[in-house]
Amino acid sequence: MSATNQSKAFQSRIGEALGNQQAHTNFRSAMNMLMENRLKQFPDQEELLHKRQRADAIRAHALRNLPTLLEKLEQKLVENGIQVHWAENGEEANALIHQLLSQAGARSVVKGKSMVSEEIDLNHYMEERGIKVLESDLGEFILQLAGETPSHIVMPAIHKSKQDIAELIHKHYPEHPYSEDVDTLTQQARQILRDKFCHADAGISGVNFMVAETGTLCLVENEGNGRMSTTVPPIHIAVTGIEKVVESLSDVPPLLELLTKSATGQPITAYFNMITRPRQRGEMDGPQEVHLVLLDNGRSHIRRDEELLDTLRCIRCGSCINHCPVYVQVGGHAYGTVYPGPIGSVLEPMRQGLDKIGALTSACSLCGACGQVCPVQIPLPKLINRLRAEAVTQQVETQGVKGQGSLRKLLEVWTWKGWRLIFGSGLRYRLFKLLATRLRRLTPPKMGGWSRYRTIAKPASRSLDEMAAKAGFDHE
């Protein structure tokens, strides 16, 4: 997609989102609740800061030692009997997973919530090859019925009302009577999905943390579908990004605490599932085979840059999204990417290239709310600013961010050059002010999108430097 086309497509998605008042109301009430709940978990700001510093350092330490830790992780996992696979990109990861499923003769697969599986579009890949992958997280299950993608990384169906959901379930499973009662809907989903868990040939999941020291895969969840998917079927395939590794088991508790508190304001989720081995001799359940697919998909490229690699500290809590004043207006789908909101506006342009999706960086007022709440202190506003600079830079480097310079437009370049000429010289700036104040009546009554929502502020009749002199302030 050309730079102009991606901007146009983005603007059209934004227009559509802003026109949907019901969705805005849904997002607003959900985000209000998530922010309030998070705040209740962190009554002491000083303690919170210390915890964030600690989590930041743990993740930074892991990223610094990433190649060593990945090798150590692999060695431990193999010792434990978990098979490790590496994939450069989504295509390779899907092919690997497909091969594993085919070898096992799997036709029906249950999957726990995994953003990486969204990233590689796993479901479609398998479906095209005759393997049905059923989403088992309730939110993801609802979206799969609707044929939609998640609008939030933690609460994927946040844009759906209970009426929408009631209709979807009744339409696809008419044996269940139509109901808008949340408990009834939940129990209907329980019945539908229990049968699937019981008969699935394989389970797929993501991973929240991988522990190099012990070769352990950790999964955070509330519903129990993750435990079902990783315990009931004979094969479990976990797929995750290479950045999710931490060095030691004692690194996990501080990250877990900040993850659940930041994400949904829970002190901890209902389940924290730590998987270290496949079923051992004498054990009665658990998968006989456990596989881990380690996905790069641009991550090693991001890690090359001193500043951008901060992005890889992300533990996917979604707190930046919950606090983003732009996200609450447009919702997740407007971004048109797997990861929306502030983290998406940083990660997606790096992953896909600024030429593909760099326009996301424009949807940010740089208010800084995201950076304040990030549990691992990713400087999101700074990174968005950096990507804006990369998008319009003239110096394109082979090692740089993909699509560098692709949003550089001549009109904008000359506007800023003109601005620099005026504001970069005391003399020219004062001349400009003289003209602007004396000719204030000529201020245009309309200025693009600005005046669609606001009146125009006219220059004053005298600028401050003239008035300051009159009021007796020293010029020096």
Partner 1 sequence: MAMSSDRPSEVYFLATCLTDLLYPRVGLAGMELIRRAGVRVIYPKRQSCCGQPAYNSGYRDEALKVARHQLSCFPRNIPVVVPSGSCAGMVSHHWPELFAGKPDEAEAVNMAGRTFELTQFLVDHLDLQLEDLGEPTEIVVHTSCSSRNELGIEERIESLLAQLSNVTVREQARKAECCGFGGTFSIKQPDISGAMVQDKCDALEQTGATRVVSQDCGCLMNIGGALEKQGRTLQPQHIAEFLLERTNVSN
Partner 2 sequence: MSNAREAVLGRLRTNGSIQMGRSIPPQVDYSSLGLNEKRELFTQRLQAAHAEVHHLQDGDWVNWINRELPQRGVSCLLAGGVPAEELEQRVVSTIKLQRYQQPIESWKEELFSQVDASVTSTEGGIASTGTVVVWPTPQEPRLVSLVPSIHVALVDSERLHDTFEQMVNDDRWAERMPTNALLISGPSKTADIQQVIAYGVHGPKQLIVLLLG
Instruction: Out of 20, 35, 254, 437, name the contact with partner 2 by CB under 8 A.
Output: 254
Task: Give φ, ψ of 323 to 5 degrees.
Answer: -100, 5
**227 touches partner 2 (CB under 8 A):** yes
By beta-carbon proximity to partner 2, the closer residue of 6 and 230 is 230
**264 touches partner 2 (CB under 8 A):** yes
**232 touches partner 2 (CB under 8 A):** yes
Task: Name the 3-class secondary structure at 388.
Answer: helix
Residue 306 to residue 4: CA distance in whole angstroms: 30
**309 touches partner 1 (CB under 8 A):** no
**270 touches partner 1 (CB under 8 A):** no
**201 touches partner 2 (CB under 8 A):** no
Q: How far is the CB of 302 from partner 1 (least distance, A)?
A: 19
**91 touches partner 2 (CB under 8 A):** no
Q: How far is the CB of 254 from partner 1 (least distance, A)?
A: 24
**15 touches partner 1 (CB under 8 A):** yes
Residue 92 to residue 115: CA distance in whole angstroms: 17
Residue 453 to residue 471: CA distance in whole angstroms: 36
Cβ atoms of 243 and 312 closer than 8 Å? yes
Task: Give me 239's structure tokens.
Answer: 């797929």
Residue 50 to residue 61: CA distance in whole angstroms: 16
Residue 374 to residue 380: CA distance in whole angstroms: 8
With CB under 8 A, what is the number of residues at the site for partner 2? 98
By beta-carbon proximity to partner 2, the closer residue of 4 and 163 is 163
Q: How far is the CB of 369 from partner 1 (least distance, A)?
A: 6
Q: How far is the CB of 475 from partner 1 (least distance, A)?
A: 5
Counted residue by residue, the chain has a size of 476
By beta-carbon proximity to partner 2, the closer residue of 79 and 465 is 79
**326 touches partner 1 (CB under 8 A):** yes
Binding partner of 44, given partner 2, partner 1, none, CB within 5-8 angstroms per partner class = none
Query: Which positions from 39 to 58 touch partner 2 by CB under 8 A, shown as an x/- string?
Result: --------x--x--xx-xxx
Binding partner of 223, given partner 2, partner 1, none, CB within 5-8 angstroms per partner class = partner 2
Residue among 208, 91, 77 at smallest CA distance from 154: 208
Please list the residues that pair with 295 across neighbouring strands. 87, 241
One-character DSSP codes across 137-156? SHHHHHHHHHT---SSSSST
The set of residues, in sequence order, having a beta carbon less than 8 Å from that of 358 and lying 6+ positions away, is 3, 6, 349, 387, 391, 403, 406, 407
Task: Give me 79's structure tokens.
Answer: 């010792």
Site for partner 1 in 444-463 (CB under 8 A): 448-460, 462-463
Q: How far is the CB of 457 from partner 2 (least distance, A)?
A: 40
**36 touches partner 1 (CB under 8 A):** no
> DSSP character for 476?
-
Question: Candidates 15-23, 283-291, 354-362, 365-373 — which segment interacts with partner 2 by CB under 8 A?
Answer: 283-291
Residue 246 to residue 210: CA distance in whole angstroms: 6
Strands 289-295 and 271-275: unpaired
**441 touches partner 1 (CB under 8 A):** no
Residue among 345, 347, 348, 351 at smallest CA distance from 365: 345
Instruction: Out of 325, 396, 409, 439, name the contact with partner 1 by CB under 8 A.
Output: 325
Binding partner of 50, given partner 1, partner 2, none, CB within 5-8 angstroms per partner class = partner 2
Q: How far is the CB of 374 from partner 2 (least distance, A)?
A: 15
Residue among 158, 195, 191 at smallest CA distance from 33: 158
Question: Candidates 4-12, 267-275, 416-424, 466-474 — which segment interacts with partner 2 by CB under 8 A?
Answer: 267-275
In 19-161, alpha helices (H): 21-41, 45-64, 66-80, 90-103, 115-119, 122-128, 138-146
Query: Which positions from 291 to 330 touch partner 2 by CB under 8 A, shown as an x/- string?
Result: ---x-x---xx-xx-x--x---------------------
**What's the distance, CA 207 to chain centroid?**
15
CA distance to 44, 54, 64, 226, 258, per residue, from 251 (Å): 22, 9, 15, 22, 12
**234 touches partner 2 (CB under 8 A):** yes
**125 touches partner 2 (CB under 8 A):** no
Site for partner 1 in 408-427 (CB under 8 A): 412-413, 416-417, 419-420, 422-427
